[in-house]
Structure 1
Amino acid sequence: MSDPAIKQRPQFRNISVPQLMNYRLPLSAKSSILHRVSGALLFLSLPLVLLPLFELSVTSPETFASIQAWASHPVCKLVLLALIWGYLHHFCAGIRYLTIDLHIGVDKESARKSAGIVFGVSLALTVIFGLKLFGVW
């Protein structure tokens, strides 16, 4: 026997792609997705980019000079800037998740504010390091 007080949940089986494209994610969801993306970026770049560059840079002064010349190319600087952003966003979002694990800032408004802080701090630091990378000062 079914209980008449139990309300049936609506089932949505006909959601189309345009409806999904119009859906706006909350800021904390965007921060979470980018935290995963930046983690994957760092994980994949470690054996493919960072460790080979480090190995070449410490082999000899000649290979260090070749890496230095390679790193001065604008396309390489953009790749390095993406890695810098990935590290800084992952670091800032990781601190946010550690505070959430301590049950600090778990309500909706605090989560929205902390996600905004993650974006603001990580992007500001990326701009600062990017300016240094591109030789502005």
Structure 2
Amino acid sequence: MKKQRPVNLNFSTICFPLTAIISILHRISGVITFFSIGILLWLLGLSLSSPKNFLEVSTIINSLHFKFIAWVLVSTLSFHFIGGIRHLIMDFGLISTTLKTGKISSKVVLGSSILLAILSGVVIW
């Protein structure tokens, strides 16, 4: 028997809970961190290849655009790290996996990652 149900695929009308938003952002930050490691390793290899390339990489690193990119990368890495700690704590059963503790731990992850993003911005600039 085929059920005819309405399907809502308009994501602008769907209101996701905070726990879902944090989970989605954790996955996105993992992808950003994965690809940024490759770019940073390429810059490291380029800087170690010759003194001329070292000076070129040092001018790139001292630019304002790269400082902004570095701030974004450090912020996503810190968010991913804190979110991963949250998942490990919940997986090991150190805190219960109820909706209430999920909301509280999501707020803690969001607040602490915002604090670390501000702190890393101060250190980078």
TM interval, short-chain normalised: 0.7 to 0.9
Aligned length: 122
Among 2, 5, 28, the residue aligned to 1:13: 5
Contact 2:75–2:120 (Cα < 8 Å) also in 1: no
- Tell whether 2:115 aligns with 1:124: yes
Out of 64, 70, 79, the residue aligned to residue 74 of structure 1 is 64
Identity %: 30
Instruction: Note if 1:28 corresponds to 2:34.
Output: no
| Cα RMSD, aligned residues only | 1.9
Unmatched tracts of structure 2, length 5 or more:
none
What is the 5 A alignment of 1:49-128? 49-103=39-93, 104-128=95-119
Rounded Cα–Cα distance in structure 2 between residues aligned with 1:117 and 1:70? 35
TM-score, normalising length from structure 1?
0.78
Give, in whole Å, the separation in 1 of the partners of 2:77 and 2:83.
10
Bigger radius of gyration, 1 or 2? 1
Q: Which runs of 5+ in 1 are unaligned?
A: 1-10
